Chain A
């Protein structure tokens, strides 16, 4: 009876059926959530705040790196040359160095130029004339490394510069910038750890919300099982509810982070102005936004699947 020819045409091929089932549940669960806007919003807000913390820290790190990157132009290495190196050899060295991939610019400052500069800047002026022919200052080659050189290559560059026979001492200015990068590296790692912990928190939040919904639908689940609904069919609305919670949470997180960025933009601009910088604070870019939303969706579905898997079997008819 159940295999009457009419049934074959009444039922759809499974791919089409699967897609339609999912589309139907996707829309139905969204409809149900929008009918209870307050509780939906509260759940989304809790998830959003949880997601906003790592996302906000990411934005902070990103902005601090961008600011320090803009200072990187000031990062220079000074090569103090051996007194025996002739000015010709010094200039030749500059040309050799400029051919290197990791060097942006190099310039030669002769001993005389050094002295003149020192005379001018130090204010000793006349006093230095007493030294007459004795110039205590070495010739210097100032090397500007290529921008965005990673830490290791910067170190390798410094090592190879120090090893040059003409060079007595190689000194990298602004060691503090390196230290800042090291600190940022730690913070970036910490953001990942915090994000992992908060991801678990999001799963717990979604899981708990879904658990309450499952308990509220106890009767319905039992009736569904009685009339032959497979577990996948019963599970599906809960998974999509988790998906919507996660997506809504991601949107709330995006709003929080970009709202905070917007609120901080004016004072940040003022501060940048004091440093004669035109730096503009940035929020979540397209890629980071996509990651936040995708993380929300994935965690919502995972948290829901984890709960449904544990609770569905408890409601067996009979």
Chain B
């Protein structure tokens, strides 16, 4: 196993047949265990980049390799199995509002055929990791936005994926809740999960010691590490 997790080789993506280019000739590499932020204005191609990794879209040109697998070789029928290796967090949470928090978080395990007792154990562990133990029987709509997003995160990590991708996970949250959510991601990264977060909350992530890549009109503008001396954040919990 190489230590490269994600590799983009001159990837371009066009909306539809004749639409605008969302990504142009993109090259980038993400290592195993890394935590990377993708930033840029709306429409810069952040979401497209994540969608290509999750096989929600296919590149128009170029090659993407994730965990040693060339995504072009993943057939349509194999997509579910591929997607099961990845935890995905969404801006709009994408929770099922007619099911309890417990059932929402358990869903990926049910899909994968886990035993009943293992499901209970893992769901509790995942909810504990996002500080939501005790809310298992609640329904998503009775929770705050930040709590709902943490349920979404619990659901994405309950299967212990190798890679966590998050598309504007704090887009609907106020700054304080946003910081909480980012800290949750950092905690998972600390235990070895690779995390790729698309966000435009530059102010928030500038305070965090992780690599940032900037997209501007579908092109990579700056892929330099921000340096490993983070600006101390007042009130930031022990990261």
Binding site for B on A (CB under 8 A): 1-2, 4, 7, 9-12, 14, 17, 21, 219-220, 222-231, 233, 317-318
Contact = CB atoms under 8 A, between A and B. Distances in A.
A138 to B, nearest CB: 83
Interface in B94-143: 94-96, 107-108, 111-115, 118, 122
Given A2-B162, A227-B83, A229-B80, A21 B113 contact: yes
Contacts of A4: 160
Interface in B54-93: 54, 56-57, 80-86, 88, 90
B160 to A, nearest CB: 5
Given A10-B118, A220-B96, A227-B108, A17 B113 contact: yes
B195 interface: no
Top 9 A-B pairs, shortest CB-CB distance: A10-B118, A318-B56, A228-B83, A228-B84, A17-B113, A230-B80, A229-B111, A223-B94, A228-B80
Given A2-B160, A222-B94, 9 more contacts: A1-B160, A9-B118, A11-B112, A11-B114, A226-B54, A227-B108, A228-B81, A230-B81, A318-B51
Candidate in B54, B83, B162 with the most chain A CB atoms within 10 angstroms: B83
Contacts of A228: 80-84, 86, 108, 111
B160 A225 contact: no
A12 B111 contact: no
Given A228-B81, A317-B56, A318-B51, A233 B111 contact: yes
Interface SS of A by simple majority: helix
Interface residues of B, number: 33
A226 B91 CA distance: 13
A12 B113 contact: yes
A1 B80 CA distance: 18
Contacts, number: 74
Contacts of B43: none
Nearest to B113: A17
A35 to B, nearest CB: 11
Contacts of B159: 2
29 contacts: A1-B160, A1-B193, A2-B162, A4-B160, A10-B114, A10-B122, A11-B114, A11-B118, A12-B113, A14-B113, A222-B94, A223-B94, A223-B95, A223-B96, A224-B111, A225-B80, A226-B54, A227-B84, A227-B88, A227-B156, A228-B81, A228-B83, A228-B84, A229-B107, A229-B111, A230-B80, A230-B81, A231-B80, A233-B80
A135 B214 CA distance: 124
A69 to B, nearest CB: 56
B155 interface: yes
B171 interface: no
B145 interface: no
Given A220-B96, A227-B107, A229-B111, A1 B56 contact: no
Most buried by A among B83, B113, B118: B113
Given A226-B88, A227-B88, A227-B155, A2 B161 contact: yes
Nearest to A24: B110
B225 interface: no
Contacts of A17: 113
Contacts of B192: 1
A226 B112 CA distance: 14
Contacts of B122: 10
Nearest to B98: A220
A131 to B, nearest CB: 96
Contact of A1 (B96, B108, B113, B162): B162
A259 B160 CA distance: 58
A12 B81 CA distance: 17
Contacts of B83: 225-228
Q: Which of B94, B122, B162 has most A Cβ within 10 Å?
A: B94
A225 B118 CA distance: 23
